[in-house]
Structure 1
Protein backbone atom coordinates (compact mmCIF):
# COMPACT_ATOMS: atom_id res chain seq x y z
CA UNK A 1 0.00 0.00 0.00
CA UNK A 2 1.23 3.49 -0.88
CA UNK A 3 -0.32 6.90 -0.14
CA UNK A 4 -0.93 9.52 -2.79
CA UNK A 5 -0.91 13.16 -1.77
CA UNK A 6 -2.53 15.65 -4.15
CA UNK A 7 -2.31 19.43 -4.15
CA UNK A 8 -4.45 22.05 -5.85
CA UNK A 9 -2.89 25.51 -5.96
CA UNK A 10 -4.54 28.86 -5.43
CA UNK A 11 -5.31 31.03 -8.48
CA UNK A 12 -2.31 32.98 -9.75
CA UNK A 13 -0.06 30.67 -7.75
CA UNK A 14 3.11 31.05 -9.80
CA UNK A 15 4.76 34.10 -8.12
CA UNK A 16 4.08 32.70 -4.66
CA UNK A 17 5.26 29.23 -5.71
CA UNK A 18 8.50 30.64 -7.11
CA UNK A 19 9.16 32.50 -3.86
CA UNK A 20 8.63 29.36 -1.75
CA UNK A 21 10.16 26.82 -4.13
CA UNK A 22 13.66 26.60 -2.58
CA UNK A 23 12.26 25.63 0.85
CA UNK A 24 9.68 23.32 -0.73
CA UNK A 25 12.38 21.63 -2.80
CA UNK A 26 14.54 21.11 0.30
CA UNK A 27 11.58 19.40 2.01
CA UNK A 28 11.04 17.16 -1.01
CA UNK A 29 14.72 16.17 -0.95
CA UNK A 30 14.61 15.49 2.82
CA UNK A 31 11.64 13.12 2.53
CA UNK A 32 13.13 11.41 -0.54
CA UNK A 33 16.45 10.88 1.29
CA UNK A 34 14.57 9.33 4.21
CA UNK A 35 12.86 6.95 1.79
CA UNK A 36 9.38 8.24 2.67
CA UNK A 37 8.71 10.04 -0.65
CA UNK A 38 8.95 7.81 -3.72
CA UNK A 39 7.98 10.28 -6.45
CA UNK A 40 6.55 13.75 -6.83
CA UNK A 41 5.58 16.01 -9.69
CA UNK A 42 3.19 18.47 -11.25
CA UNK A 43 0.53 17.92 -13.87
CA UNK A 44 1.39 19.88 -17.00
CA UNK A 45 -1.84 20.07 -18.98
CA UNK A 46 -3.36 22.31 -17.98
CA UNK A 47 -0.60 23.96 -15.95
CA UNK A 48 -2.78 24.93 -13.00
CA UNK A 49 -0.68 24.10 -9.98
CA UNK A 50 -1.99 20.58 -9.43
CA UNK A 51 0.59 18.11 -8.20
CA UNK A 52 0.93 14.72 -6.56
CA UNK A 53 3.39 12.77 -4.49
CA UNK A 54 3.59 9.08 -3.64
CA UNK A 55 4.58 8.26 -0.06
CA UNK A 56 5.33 5.01 1.75
CA UNK A 57 2.98 5.78 4.66
CA UNK A 58 0.03 8.05 5.44
CA UNK A 59 1.97 9.44 8.40
CA UNK A 60 4.85 10.51 6.14
CA UNK A 61 2.46 12.16 3.67
CA UNK A 62 0.66 14.05 6.42
CA UNK A 63 3.96 15.08 8.05
CA UNK A 64 5.17 16.38 4.68
CA UNK A 65 2.01 18.42 4.13
CA UNK A 66 2.01 19.84 7.66
CA UNK A 67 5.40 21.49 7.20
CA UNK A 68 5.51 22.08 3.46
CA UNK A 69 6.21 25.77 2.71
CA UNK A 70 3.72 25.57 -0.17
CA UNK A 71 0.97 24.70 2.32
CA UNK A 72 2.18 26.88 5.19
CA UNK A 73 2.57 29.96 2.95
CA UNK A 74 -0.65 29.70 0.97
CA UNK A 75 0.43 28.30 -2.41
CA UNK A 76 -1.83 25.28 -1.89
CA UNK A 77 -5.59 25.85 -1.80
CA UNK A 78 -6.45 22.25 -0.91
CA UNK A 79 -4.79 18.90 -0.45
CA UNK A 80 -5.71 15.28 0.15
CA UNK A 81 -4.00 12.01 1.05
CA UNK A 82 -5.52 8.80 -0.28
CA UNK A 83 -4.46 5.16 0.05
CA UNK A 84 -3.35 3.65 -3.23
CA UNK A 85 -3.25 -0.08 -3.76
CA UNK A 86 -0.23 -0.51 -5.99
CA UNK A 87 -0.75 -3.52 -8.24
CA UNK A 88 2.28 -3.66 -10.54
CA UNK A 89 5.57 -3.67 -8.66
CA UNK A 90 8.99 -4.28 -10.29
Structure 2
Protein backbone atom coordinates (compact mmCIF):
# COMPACT_ATOMS: atom_id res chain seq x y z
CA UNK A 1 0.00 0.00 0.00
CA UNK A 2 1.17 3.53 -0.78
CA UNK A 3 1.99 5.93 2.04
CA UNK A 4 -0.81 8.33 2.94
CA UNK A 5 -1.12 11.76 1.44
CA UNK A 6 -1.93 14.88 3.44
CA UNK A 7 -4.69 17.26 2.42
CA UNK A 8 -4.37 20.92 3.38
CA UNK A 9 -7.60 22.92 3.36
CA UNK A 10 -7.69 26.71 3.34
CA UNK A 11 -10.74 28.76 4.35
CA UNK A 12 -10.56 32.39 3.24
CA UNK A 13 -10.87 35.50 5.37
CA UNK A 14 -13.77 37.92 4.86
CA UNK A 15 -13.19 40.07 1.82
CA UNK A 16 -10.23 37.94 0.72
CA UNK A 17 -10.33 39.09 -2.92
CA UNK A 18 -8.08 42.18 -2.77
CA UNK A 19 -5.61 40.43 -0.47
CA UNK A 20 -5.54 37.39 -2.76
CA UNK A 21 -4.78 39.62 -5.74
CA UNK A 22 -1.97 41.33 -3.83
CA UNK A 23 -0.32 38.13 -2.58
CA UNK A 24 -1.30 35.87 -5.50
CA UNK A 25 1.97 35.94 -7.49
CA UNK A 26 4.10 35.04 -4.46
CA UNK A 27 1.60 32.35 -3.42
CA UNK A 28 1.67 30.77 -6.90
CA UNK A 29 5.47 30.90 -6.93
CA UNK A 30 5.50 29.00 -3.62
CA UNK A 31 3.07 26.41 -5.02
CA UNK A 32 5.42 25.84 -7.97
CA UNK A 33 8.43 25.59 -5.67
CA UNK A 34 6.81 22.80 -3.62
CA UNK A 35 5.49 21.05 -6.73
CA UNK A 36 8.94 21.15 -8.32
CA UNK A 37 10.37 19.59 -5.15
CA UNK A 38 7.89 16.73 -5.59
CA UNK A 39 6.10 17.26 -2.27
CA UNK A 40 2.95 19.01 -3.58
CA UNK A 41 0.88 16.67 -5.74
CA UNK A 42 -2.25 18.76 -6.43
CA UNK A 43 -3.49 22.24 -5.51
CA UNK A 44 -6.29 24.61 -6.34
CA UNK A 45 -9.55 26.28 -5.40
CA UNK A 46 -12.81 24.41 -4.99
CA UNK A 47 -15.69 25.48 -7.23
CA UNK A 48 -19.46 25.25 -7.45
CA UNK A 49 -19.60 27.67 -5.80
CA UNK A 50 -16.25 29.40 -5.80
CA UNK A 51 -15.92 30.87 -2.30
CA UNK A 52 -12.16 31.01 -1.83
CA UNK A 53 -11.84 27.58 -0.26
CA UNK A 54 -8.81 25.72 -1.60
CA UNK A 55 -6.94 22.46 -1.10
CA UNK A 56 -3.41 21.20 -1.53
CA UNK A 57 -2.36 17.56 -1.49
CA UNK A 58 1.10 16.89 -0.06
CA UNK A 59 3.29 13.81 0.29
CA UNK A 60 3.94 14.47 4.00
CA UNK A 61 2.49 16.40 6.92
CA UNK A 62 5.85 18.14 7.32
CA UNK A 63 5.75 19.45 3.74
CA UNK A 64 2.19 20.75 4.21
CA UNK A 65 3.12 22.48 7.45
CA UNK A 66 6.27 23.96 5.91
CA UNK A 67 4.21 25.29 3.01
CA UNK A 68 1.63 26.86 5.33
CA UNK A 69 4.26 28.43 7.61
CA UNK A 70 5.71 30.51 4.76
CA UNK A 71 2.72 30.90 2.44
CA UNK A 72 2.08 34.54 1.51
CA UNK A 73 -1.68 33.81 1.64
CA UNK A 74 -1.38 32.80 5.30
CA UNK A 75 1.11 35.53 6.21
CA UNK A 76 -0.89 38.17 4.31
CA UNK A 77 -4.27 37.40 5.88
CA UNK A 78 -5.96 35.79 2.85
CA UNK A 79 -6.48 32.59 4.84
CA UNK A 80 -8.64 32.68 7.98
CA UNK A 81 -8.30 28.97 8.90
CA UNK A 82 -6.38 25.98 7.64
CA UNK A 83 -6.27 22.26 8.38
CA UNK A 84 -4.00 19.35 7.47
CA UNK A 85 -5.45 15.85 7.49
CA UNK A 86 -4.10 12.48 6.40
CA UNK A 87 -5.74 10.82 3.42
CA UNK A 88 -5.31 7.22 2.28
CA UNK A 89 -5.57 7.40 -1.53
CA UNK A 90 -6.68 3.93 -2.63
CA UNK A 91 -6.02 4.59 -6.31
CA UNK A 92 -2.60 6.21 -6.17
CA UNK A 93 -0.05 4.82 -8.61
CA UNK A 94 2.40 2.33 -7.11
CA UNK A 95 5.70 3.85 -6.13
CA UNK A 96 4.32 7.33 -5.52
CA UNK A 97 6.84 9.40 -3.54
CA UNK A 98 5.98 9.80 0.08
* CA offsets 1:16-75 (integer angstroms, 9 cap, x no match): 101000000010000000000000010112211100000000000000000000000100
| Residue of structure 2 in register with 1:77 after alignment | 80
Question: Matched residue of 1:47: which SS?
Answer: coil
1:84 shift after superposition = 0.2
Question: Matched residue of 1:54: which SS?
Answer: strand
Segments ≥4 residues shifted beyond 6 Å? none
Are 1:35 and 2:38 matched, yes or no?
A: yes
CA–CA separation in structure 2 for the residues paired with 1:13 and 1:53: 18
Listed as ranges, the gaps of 5+ residues in structure 1 are: none
TM-score relative to the length of structure 2: 0.89
Are 1:67 and 2:70 matched, yes or no?
A: yes
TM-score relative to the length of structure 1: 0.97
RMSD: 0.7
Are 1:51 and 2:37 matched, yes or no?
A: no
Question: Matched residue of 2:57: which SS?
Answer: strand
Number of positions where the alignment pairs a residue of Structure 1 with one of Structure 2: 90
Whichever of the two has the greater Rg, that structure is: 2
Are 1:23 and 2:26 matched, yes or no?
A: yes
